[in-house]
Amino acid sequence: EADIYQTPRYLVIGTGKKITLECSQTMGHDKMYWYQQDPGMELHLIHYSYGVNSTEKGDLSSESTVSRIRTEHFPLTLESARPSHTSQYLCASSERGWNTEAFFGQGTRLTVV
Amino acid sequence: AQSVTQPDIHITVSEGASLELRCNYSYGATPYLFWYVQSPGQGLQLLLKYFSGDTLVQGIKGFEAEFKRSQSSFNLRKPSVHWSDAAEYFCAVGASGNQFYFGTGTSLTVIP
């Protein structure tokens, strides 16, 4: 069983609020990722990190930001939530190198009203 | 550019029947290929992976997949489907920089 945790699992929040989605992994993985998942769509990479103090934007434009101050922690922040941010957010991690797979958390279902 | 195509949005099979889920990829170099399964409200769980070697790979829960370079395909198969296999299935390719690109998924319904 993969040791990667996301909190909260479900969140309903009003427009304009600031929110932080938490993601932690206990596997010591260097690489971490945030994906956005909508029904019938592929998972879209919104942010990734190669290690501490490393963050990159993914293929999908996002108004969110991330930080990587500790290896195990990769939080995602929305400064001002909007209804268009309603989605499922999946955090993942992997070891450094080519031949590795991604391990996923259970996801956070975000609804902005 | 890397991409993954899963042409079947939804598949329905009877319990005990065989299953094949299709996946085609586009990638310039040697691909690293994965199949993941997602149950409702859950994250993605790795079923199997192909990095090199034998083109027929075995995974968990009785699944297998075959890599065919000439067809750019990595189809997932199971000889006898169980009701608990109902879920969403995602094919993915690992690209340079250790990023992962996913297909749009195939939703599997199993009828008794």
CB contact under 8 Å between A98 and B44, yes or no, is: no
Residue A8, preceding peptide bond in cis (omega within 30° of 0):
yes
d(CA B71, CA B83): 31
Which residues does B contribute to its contact with A (CB < 8 Å)?
Answer: 4, 9, 32, 34, 36, 41-46, 49, 51-52, 90, 92, 94, 98-105
Q: What is the pLDDT of residues B6-59, one digit of tens each?
A: 999 999 999 999 999 999 998 877 789 999 999 988 889 999 999 888 899 999
Q: CA distances (Å), B101 to each of A45, A79, B55, in order?
A: 8, 27, 20
Q: Report the candidate in B78, B87, B76 with the shortest Cα–Cα distance to residue B34.
A: B76
CB contact under 8 Å between A107 and B41, yes or no, is: yes
**Which residues of A are less than 8 Å from B32 in CB distance?**
98-99
d(CA B45, CA A33): 15
Decide if A105 touches B, using CB distance below 8 A.
yes
- What average pLDDT values come out for chain A (113 residues) when binned by 10 residues? 88 96 96 92 90 90 91 96 95 86 94 97
Angle at A95 between CA A47 and CA B89, to 5 degrees: 70
